[in-house]
A and B are shown apart, each in its own frame.
Chain A
């Protein structure tokens, strides 16, 4: 049972990581909570459903196309709504509320267009998992784990060694100073939305395959995604993935004892705990969470 719970925790953690990593990229660079990030994944999933199940386009085209559409979606939100607000020097709190508005609009739009019923994407067959020392894991779940690991390595190298990554960190630290060295902060912020939302698109695809599609799928995961980012440290990209695994494991081992109805509350309790005790998370630097 321990091994199965461990695997369950790792799978859950991987899914949260898909959301938290993209979110973290956007947060570190823009310094406000882009709540609508979950909706990006939802929109991506429905787009995939529409093109694959509706129009019958083969997956080797729809998969990359979906990721592109997700990136575009995030980019447009930033361009049309956040940028004008930022130009007026509004606080991050207003941007948070605006992002909640966007999230509600998008989720309900999906419901309006596709209906509230859960949609199933039958691309890969589901079946009994592969048995491994008494625990079971399915091929899709293994694929998700591997993809997230690759993502982790990729983000870590990107953030530490690549030029864009270093520039993003500079902009995150101090946008004004970065500007004086000739860095175009706005362009970097655009990039953060493009990359972050593309990862959300990937998340949408994988979650659709593993859990099916419904209008609130992305938003439900945002809570855990955000919590994971806080746990790992919102200023650290690889940290957000570590935080996701911590959350996934605590949730799944936690309900060994607690009634499972409390599972969703665990994320919030952890969130509160970290915000109060260690707001910079495990890997982050303290960036003004407190007075």
Chain B
């Protein structure tokens, strides 16, 4: 007896699971601390929304959202190639903010703060998705594909190369591996799937505006990745369920609404700090953050 509300939460969990898994590729497997991951989410969402509003068929728009985001992933990797550690992290944060500022100010393209309302539900080769239930199935299928693809990538020899970049860049370089290319590719892969997640979000909520992609949400995705454990896909998925579902329980206790918002954020922060202090590997992680 699943109520429509649970379906709503389930869709959000699926989307955030994709975001976490894609971020994990960059952070967990390759060691690239990308605090601006939410920018890829936003770029994918806007790309998909703008294209479908201009009568581009949905399947094309979905691919485009991944590709656009991936291009920006390339850009970010190029910009930050020579940075490491907290400098890299802060540069990516800056990138995320600049993307937000463009979304807000480039009104001709994005309508700025007015946002894009009325984004249609997907129509795939004639099959029109209506209603949240079928959307959940659709999103879950996509998520499944994504997780499978990423699983194959990280468990292949290529995946081992990425992990080498994270663990021992100099060693890898000594063996003739092009670190720079690996980093760029990793970022592009990570961004691509985040862009797809963006498209899924936009077509579900049907209204996006820049505030949806503001920096503060990166903390949710990051918390999921860390709690789940770096370099653990299964961890990211389970953590996504925990992190998204738990604060929803707050809705059923009778606290004044003005308190729910801050309390959720505080819960995320506490979970994050506790995990960092007592179990930095997260639930399933195999490695520490450096």
- Where the two chains meet, the residues of A that have a C-beta atom closer than 8 Å to any C-beta of B are 32-33, 81, 84-85, 90-94, 96-98, 100-102, 104-105, 107-109, 111-112, 115-116, 223, 226, 259, 261-262, 264-265, 268-269, 271-272, 275-276, 279, 288-291
Contacts and interface: CB of A to CB of B under 8 A. Distances in A.
A264 B97 contact: yes
Contacts of B262: 108-109, 111-112
Nearest to A265: B101
Contacts of A261: 101, 104-105
Closest 4 interchain pairs by CB? A265-B101, A268-B94, A108-B262, A105-B269
A111 B269 CA distance: 15
A227 to B, nearest CB: 8
Is chain B's interface secondary structure helix, strand, loop, or mixed overall? helix
Interface stretch (B40-48, B145-153, B188-196, B271-279): B271-279
Nearest to A105: B269
Contacts of A290: 82-84, 87
B263 A92 contact: no
B74 interface: no
Contact of B276 (A97, A104, A276): A97
Which of B90, B101, B270 has most chain A Cβ within 10 Å? B90
Interface in B83-120: 83-87, 89-91, 93-95, 97-98, 101-102, 104-105
A97 B222 contact: yes
A275 B105 contact: no
Nearest to A100: B219
B277 to A, nearest CB: 6
Interface residues of B, number: 44
A92 B79 contact: no
Contacts of A116: 258
Which of B79, B86, B258 has most chain A Cβ within 10 Å? B86
Is chain A's interface secondary structure helix, strand, loop, or mixed overall? helix
Nearest to A216: B216
Contact of B86 (A96, A107, A109, A115): A96
A90 B280 contact: yes
Contacts of A112: 259, 262-263, 266
5 contacts: A93-B85, A105-B265, A265-B98, A275-B90, A291-B169
A272 B263 contact: no
A111 B262 CA distance: 7
Nearest to A234: B87
A101 B79 contact: no
A104 B265 contact: yes
B83 A289 contact: yes
Contact of B79 (A98, A100, A272): A272
Interface string B191-227: 0000000000000000000000000100100100010
A221 B209 CA distance: 24
A33 B105 contact: no
B268 interface: yes
Contact of A101 (B93, B273, B280): B273
Contacts of B98: 265, 268-269, 272
B290 interface: yes
